[in-house]
Amino acid sequence: MAKNVVEKTDDLVKINTMLVSVSDKSGLEALVPGMIALNPELVILSTGGTFERVKEILGDRASRHLQQVSEYTGQPETQGGLVKTLDFKIYLGLLTETYNEAHQKDLERTGARPIDMVVVNLYPFSETIARVGATLENARGNIDIGGPTMIRAAAKNFIRVAPVVDPSAYAEILEKLRANQGALALKDRFEMACQAFEHTAAYDRAIADYLAECTGTELHSSYIPGE
């Protein structure tokens, strides 16, 4: 199957739907109200503990703006949050191109929404392995799957989608949005995509380096019952 070649896109893209799923929840108390002030019709999709934090921030406004990813996709989260966002409707919403007629038909067919911004930071892998007494199983449990996948999908589709990976950047992003009546420019989305790929590359490098240093003894003692 031939890859799509995009010849037309929009410079300014308004943020109508935002997906938020973060381990580090700092800054959400400013980001979420700020985004809604820019677009009173904003829809926020969220998961797990992030959903609860955004719901707390929004108070009475939560029912209007906030929706669980599981409710949106129709698929409940698996035990322990193992699978939350890995769903066709999510990735259709992230990867669709505005001027691709087939993509628009897929959105209509599935009842999916284009997702314009992804706010994601990852399970704290490096922090976990730095703790005294951290085990291989502690490390394995903090290897994020859905987060990097969403970041990469959003970054790949920077022609329409804005990936946000750093809480310290929230204020600057809001400033740029205010300057363009709630929209982000192509140049901004491209810069955010570059940062996003740097972020996932560093995350994967940390995992690869840690696993490469693990010994057979650590592997055996973590998973094979002693005799």
CATH number at residue 43: 3.40.50.1380
- Evaluate whether residue 3 is within a structural domain: no
- Evaluate whether residue 125 is within a structural domain: yes
The distance of Cα 25 from the centroid of its chain, to the nearest Å, equals: 13
- Evaluate whether residue 210 is within a structural domain: yes
> What domain range is 39 assigned to?
13-223
- Evaluate whether residue 178 is within a structural domain: yes
Contact in structure between 42 and 35 (CB atoms under 8 Å):
yes
The span from the CA of 15 to the CA of 196, in Å, is 18
Return the top range by mean pLDDT from 4-13, 51-60, 99-108: 51-60
pLDDT tens for 85-129 read 778 899 999 999 988 888 899 899 999 999 999 999 987 788 888
What is the count of structural domains for the chain?
A: 1
The span from the CA of 27 to the CA of 10, in Å, is 29
- Evaluate whether residue 45 is within a structural domain: yes
- Evaluate whether residue 80 is within a structural domain: yes
Run of H or E residues at 120: strand 117-121
Q: How confident is the model at residue 161 (pLDDT cuts 50, 70, 90)?
A: very high
User: What pLDDT does residue 36 have?
Assistant: 98
Structure tokens at 73: 């996709």
pLDDT at residue 80 tops 70: no
